[in-house]
Every structure is written in C-alpha cells, then in structure tokens.
Amino acid sequence: MTRKQRIALEIFAPPLLGVLLPFAFWQGLAALRGASGQFLLFQAQDLARSLIWVYLFGGPPSVGYMAIMEWRFARGLDPRSWRAVGLSTLLGLAAGLGIALFLVFSWWPHATVPLNLGGIGLTVGFVLGLVIRRFSRPAPVSL
C-alpha cells in the first residue's frame, strides 16, 4: 500500500466501517432470528441514509485520525507494527467518544444510543489498524 492509498483509506474508511460493521452485526442477528426479506430490505435503506450522516459527523475525526497516524509514521512508527494497530485503536476510540459527546451535548441531548459510538470507534480503529498493518510495506532496514 502506498502512502497516498493509506491516506485515502484513513480518511474514507472509518465512517464507512462505522456503519457497515454494526449493520453487518444486526443483519446477521436478524437473519439468525428468521427476519423476513422485507425487514432486511428496510434495513438496507436505513444503511443508505446512515451513510450521509456518518460522513457528516465522522469526516472531521477521520481527517484528524489520518493526520495523527501520518505524523507518527513520518516520525518512525512502522505501519506494520502492533504499536500502529494500538494507536489506531486508541484514535478510533477517541473519535467515537468525541462524536458521541458532540451529539449528546449539542445536537442530540436526550439520546443514549450515541454512547455506543465509543465501542464502534474502538472496533473501527482496530480493524483499520489491522488493514494498514497487513497491506503496508515493511519499513526499510538500516544497518
């Protein structure tokens, strides 16, 4: 993975994963419970609407995530290291909690659902860290 590809992944993938991972979980749970095809189609329509909101609220934290990750890579952090995965996970958690706090304290004060965004952010950060680790080139070895 080139640096430009990694930057594009760091900006555009977190909001998308933030919707797709919970959606896949709930779709699997609904299918196990024997949900009808009409219910699953309704959920897919909700997914499409959710993408608009998730890029609106998740776009700025994704840019911050990218900036911090690329800053650390420029300072010597190996993208293929577990430290990079750990940093990605922590940044995902911070982004999820930041979005949740923004929603609770400014835009959506009566909701309890946004507090789950911390766990979603943690999961997204971990998955994205694993993807970066897997597809990045090894760091050059200096002798």
Q: Give 130: exposed, middle or buried? Use CB within 10 Å, 0-12, 13-18, 19+.
A: middle
Q: Which residue has the higher pLDDT, 53 or 114?
A: 53
Q: Hunting for tokens 């860290």 — which residue is that?
A: 129
Condensed to tens digits (0 to 9), the pLDDT of residues 74-103 reads 999 999 999 999 999 999 999 999 888 888
**81 vs 106 pLDDT, higher one:** 81
Comparing CA positions, the residue from 133, 137, 51 lying closest to residue 87 is: 133
pLDDT tens-digit readout, 9-58:
999 999 999 888 887 777 777 777 776 665 555 566 777 777 888 888 88
Q: What is the pTM of this model?
A: 0.83
